[in-house]
Structure 1
Amino acid sequence: MNPLENFRMAFESLWGNKLRSFLALLGIVIGVFAVTAMISLGQMASAGITQDLEAIAGRSIFVQPNFNEGETAESAPIRDADVAALEVLPVKVLPQLFTSAQYESKPGERRSITLQGTPGDLPRLDPTNKVARGRYFTQAEARGGLAVAVLSDRAAKDLFPNRDPIGQVARLYYPSGGRLELTVVGVLEPPSGLFGGLSSSATVYAPIPLIWNTSPFARKGQYDFLVLTLDKGADAQQVSKQVRRIFEARYGKGKFSVQSTESFQDTLRSITVILQALLGAIAGLSLLVGGIGIMNIMLVSVTERTREIGLRKALGATAGLVRQQFLIEAVVLTLVGGVLGVALAAGLLVLITATVPFFKVFILSPATILLSLAVSALIGLFFGVWPAARAAALDPIEALRYE
């Protein structure tokens, strides 16, 4: 009897016991579905996090005083000379200045708001900043220190509820008592995605020279923070090293912190990989349970078919062929279960991509599919060995007498 005949008999046996076969492969279907879905959801989450982070910060490097070492904007200010030293790198240097201010939410009641100094034409220099209404103040307006402002979406709602802020005058107050009146020329788009909340604070953007001239806390020629937007094709890791070397050469080690969005992404990817492994391991337990179910069903099948096995051996079937038949049945069951599990996981992933905004990209990699099917086949092979060995060891004479 050749192996092809064993395949035919294995399929006939499985098809002849549809309910039993279905119940046997159900555990494999659930296990493969869970493993495939968990691995793919982890990959989709990683892609979603990366996209959201790039939408908020793009490919950027951030330079600020090293707060972990006790430095502050006063003890470690960033100066014009530092900005000039960085301009030789493949980046656009965007100095930032922060100060606190207040506004009157109603007569006699003041609330805090962030006043941020930036260069002019910021959306052109950093495309992650998008204007929803109006415009951004120009570089000429910024250099001249004109009293113009752009509002974040939250600031527009706080300062001018139920009104169009474009053309209105925003009255801000420094904690020391000074007043600043700014003509609103634009409103930025609200942040979106998982990290939208990080930049959803009420912020008024104004020219840096204006803040230097009016704020009692700002010092001319000094900045609190730098955003370096990488040129296309620039290597973030290499540029970060160059930036770090420039600041260490000028001020020594530990004064400034240099971080890139890609380092944040690497950290987040590491976390999602760990979560994937944990979730995949938990889901893999259902595969183990499914394998035990396969073994149990195959042992029942050996008992039920004892006379058939004895007849085959009496007609010349070797122990190896009998073993092969039962192994084929176990592997076929698990492979069919694996295919169904992958199909169900794909359907769930399509549904999640269509309905959950965070999961923007459908990911079901060939490697994940192959891994799921290979594991399901190995489960069938592993848990089919004992029933197959038991069937192969039956004495043909005793088997023929079995009732």
Structure 2
Amino acid sequence: MFRHLLKLMWNKRRANSMIFLEILLAFVVLFGVFAFVFYNMDRYRSPLGFNYEQTIGIRMDFDDELDSLAVIELQNRIHREMIAMPNVEAASFIGPVNPFGGNTWQTGTEVNGQQIRTQMLFADYRFGETAEVTMTDGHWFTEDDMKGKYIPTVVNAEFKRRYFPDVESIVDSVFDINGEHIVVGVTGDFKYKSNFAENFPLTFYPQMERLGEGDPYEMMVVRLRPNTMAETEEDIFNLLVDNTKNTEVVIWSMAKDRNKANRPVMIPMVILLVISGFLLINIALGLFGVLFTQINRRRAEIGLRKAMGATSGQVTLQFVLEILIVTVMALLLGAFFAVQVPLLELTPIPGKFFYYGILAAVTIIAVIVLLCSFLPSRQAAGMHPANVLHEE
């Protein structure tokens, strides 16, 4: 039977070649789309590592003539007055890199012969409490830590996982990363760019280094009580204007900033999925059209087969198998080229997501082909041989 099917397919090679190319193109597109979607959804599912809900970000401008002691005194006064507000639960000052702000600082160095690259985030000793950061080892740096021999830092779990996987704890280790620092704590996973950001090694630095460079922390993260953001913003604005003597105060919602930060990945994903949906609809319509055309042209063949004793199931199976053979050939060719992407490491995306993409594309196309081929095949099987032969 298989040999007979191949002969029939060869006789209809023009129509089958169009189906072959259509399925091959669909596989390539779906493979790429699903690999991209699976990769980014895997990133999305990994935790941010801090609380952004009911939290606002603030940017202000201090007088450039203030020295370090005056800056610290002003920051402490602002913090005291802000915490005294009934709707404020916690507040902290941060440096030039703010969560979901889109900016990135990185530094690199060599530690014990190993090249280390880490992102940098600047925050005061209150940030751990304000952002509700989960610590997996050690603690967030405190005021007492600032009095030690080395400047304290906190690193995220990816830092330890990537560079010191075999060490039980790196707390109290001294590293020369942008200067000599002692690690006092390790957070869990921490991503501050967006939900789709890579879980990259990250190091937190206290304000004392930025003060030495004349760049004090002029941004804040403030966590509010639930549903009090709108009524509290004006009071916070007035407080900051009174203390800084400057009206250049900007307040924003971190939850809204997170949505903005996610859009560069979320929007392309939605567009690609919509395009893939239209592509699958076109495949389904194309298969219906080709099969109905073939059935009308092969009515005599169908009638003769049924007159010779072929059952409706056998006729249905013939048409379904013809389409499935073309589909399998197209999918095998597409899968052959698709697996070269992870095998040759052509992109930085981990290979497993390409294999997931191959599996998803094959499954969806196979299901659509089966569904679209069954209905016309059943229609062909329902033809009465006497009626068909009489027409011919």
TM-score under structure 2 normalisation?
0.51
Task: Specify the alignment match of 1:279 in structure 2.
Answer: 276
Change (3 A) 1:396 1:294: closer
Matched, 1:375 2:368: yes
Question: Are the counterparts in 1 of residues 87 and 228 from structure 2 also a CA contact under 8 Å?
Answer: no
Question: Are the counterparts in 2 of residues 28 and 337 from structure 1 also a CA contact under 8 Å?
Answer: no
Task: Specify the alignment match of 1:258 in structure 2.
Answer: 253
Q: Distance in 1 between matches of 2:322 and 2:225?
A: 54
Task: Specify the alignment match of 2:151 in structure 1.
Answer: 148
Which of 334, 340, 349 pairs up with 1:358?
A: 349
Task: Specify the alignment match of 1:205 in structure 2.
Answer: 205
Task: Specify the alignment match of 1:107 in structure 2.
Answer: none
Matched, 1:247 2:233: yes
1:84 Cα offset (Å): 6.2
DSSP 3-state at the match of 1:139: coil
Which of 63, 71, 81 pairs up with 2:56?
A: 63
Q: Distance in 2 between matches of 1:341 and 1:59?
A: 48
Which of 304, 308, 333 pairs up with 1:308?
A: 304
Task: Specify the alignment match of 1:225 in structure 2.
Answer: 220
Letter in 2 for 1:272: M
Question: Are the counterparts in 1 of residues 51 and 133 from structure 2 also a CA contact under 8 Å?
Answer: no
Question: Are the counterparts in 2 of residues 240 and 258 from structure 1 also a CA contact under 8 Å?
Answer: no
Task: Specify the alignment match of 1:40 in structure 2.
Answer: 34
Change (3 A) 1:95 1:336: farther
Question: Are the counterparts in 2 of residues 121 and 139 from structure 1 also a CA contact under 8 Å?
Answer: no
Q: How many residue pairs end up in the alignment?
A: 315
Task: Specify the alignment match of 1:111 in structure 2.
Answer: none
Matches within 5 A, 1:103-182: 116-119=122-125, 126=133, 138-141=141-144, 144=147, 148=151, 150=153
Percent identity reads 10
Matched, 1:330 2:333: no
Change (3 A) 1:247 1:186: same
Matched, 1:17 2:5: yes
Runs of 5+ consecutive residues of structure 1 not aligned to the other structure: 1-11, 66-70, 100-113, 153-164, 171-181, 229-237
DSSP 3-state at the match of 1:185: strand
Q: Distance in 2 between matches of 1:32 and 1:391?
A: 36
Q: Distance in 2 between matches of 1:302 and 1:73?
A: 82
1:292 Cα offset (Å): 4.7
Question: Are the counterparts in 2 of residues 143 and 207 from structure 1 also a CA contact under 8 Å?
Answer: no
Q: Distance in 2 between matches of 1:289 and 1:47?
A: 31
Alignment RMSD, CA only?
6.2
Residues 148-175 of structure 1, C-alpha deviations (whole Å, 9 max, x = no match)? 26599xxxxxxxxxxxx957697xxxxx
Question: Are the counterparts in 2 of residues 27 and 286 from structure 1 also a CA contact under 8 Å?
Answer: no
Question: Are the counterparts in 2 of residues 35 and 280 from structure 1 also a CA contact under 8 Å?
Answer: no
Q: Distance in 1 between matches of 2:28 and 2:39?
A: 16
Task: Specify the alignment match of 1:9 in structure 2.
Answer: none
Q: Distance in 2 between matches of 1:280 and 1:363?
A: 18
Residues 68-87 of structure 1, C-alpha deviations (whole Å, 9 max, x = no match)? xxx75459x97444356599
Question: Are the counterparts in 1 of residues 43 and 198 from structure 2 also a CA contact under 8 Å?
Answer: no
Q: Distance in 2 between matches of 1:169 and 1:49?
A: 27
1:96 Cα offset (Å): 1.0
Which of 56, 81, 95 pairs up with 1:97?
A: 95
Asked which structure has the greater CA Rg, the reply is 1
Which of 386, 389, 392 pairs up with 1:396?
A: 389
Change (3 A) 1:248 1:33: same
DSSP 3-state at the match of 1:226: strand
Matched, 1:82 2:82: yes
